[in-house]
Chain A
Amino acid sequence: MSTLRTDNLTSSNGVGGSIPMSFAVQGTAKCWFNLNGTGTIAERDSFNVASYTDNGTGDHTATFSTARPNANYCPTAMTENDGSGGAGSNGITVRLDPSFPPTTTALRHTTHANASLNDRPRIMVSLMGDPH
């Protein structure tokens, strides 16, 4: 493996723009996953995830394979609306619990239809933040 040391990335023709390396490092996801939250629970694909804990109906915790340097990260989440509970009534909530599990190693999220926790067939989460 070789390492390229540079401070800026610029397009070869000079018109495609230029970005500093800090943008490339800070602006890329530090974790993402696509999870099937129904049946026996399974990931479709992921980056930087070690495991998923099924805590109960519509309640999961994803554990990072590489710990985050702090909890000042920014998760975004989306779940598929399969029509249960009516259009627009499905949602996902990311829960940052500083006591357990440690937020530098795990991210807990719940999915719901109307006001009730509900298993969802497609749970999509990504996380931005400091690299290390």
Chain B
Amino acid sequence: MLEWIATKDELAADWLRMANAHEAYDPNIQGADLKRYNNATHPEHGGPETYRILYEHGDGPAKIITPSPRFIYMLMAGDIVRHARVVRDDPETGRPVFEGTGELLEPMTEYEAVQFIQWRDVPRGCNNVHIVTTADLPVSRVFRNAWRIAA
């Protein structure tokens, strides 16, 4: 896959699209009701179900990614986020090194947005990765550091 060091111009363009999307945020895009991501209550306690991404990295406890509803909106709206993820900081310039096609992403569904966040934010090399909902998580965070992903 293509890799490149980010330029000032492309980061400026990314920034402008993101800032404009912040203003245009519509939590009900495609009827998605993205405000349910702002409710932290577990479904067993009456909270709504939302997507989470589980993965393991090293010997530590299972990691759980919670998408930002504003970023899901940007992906569902389309033409805001590029197909690119940062793979490392360039040691000489300090700038981010991107990987991907660099193309603007077309509008997608909420689930497709979560799949993209999985590709973007789960570290490379993690194999035990799952998209779940909050209903699949333990109700209590007691012993959180002992959580592992069942086979």
Contact = CB atoms under 8 A, between A and B. Distances in A.
A55 interface: yes
Interface residues on B, range: 35 or more
Contacts of B130: none
Nearest to A132: B11
Given A39-B141, A100-B123, A51 B11 contact: no
Contact of A43 (B64, B65, B69, B141): B69
A103 B89 contact: yes
A115 interface: no
B81 A65 contact: yes
Q: Interface SS of chain A: helix, strand, loop or mixed?
A: loop
B66 interface: yes
B75 to A, nearest CB: 9
Interface string A31-67: 0010010111111111111111111110000010111
A69 B8 contact: yes
Contact of B144 (A48, A57, A98): A57
Contact of B37 (A1, A43, A56): A43
Of B53, B64, B137, the most chain A CB neighbours within 10 A belong to B64
Contacts of A53: 63-66, 121
A85 to B, nearest CB: 17
Contacts of A56: 60-61, 144-145
Interface of A: 1, 33, 36, 38-57, 63, 65-72, 98, 100-105, 119, 131-132
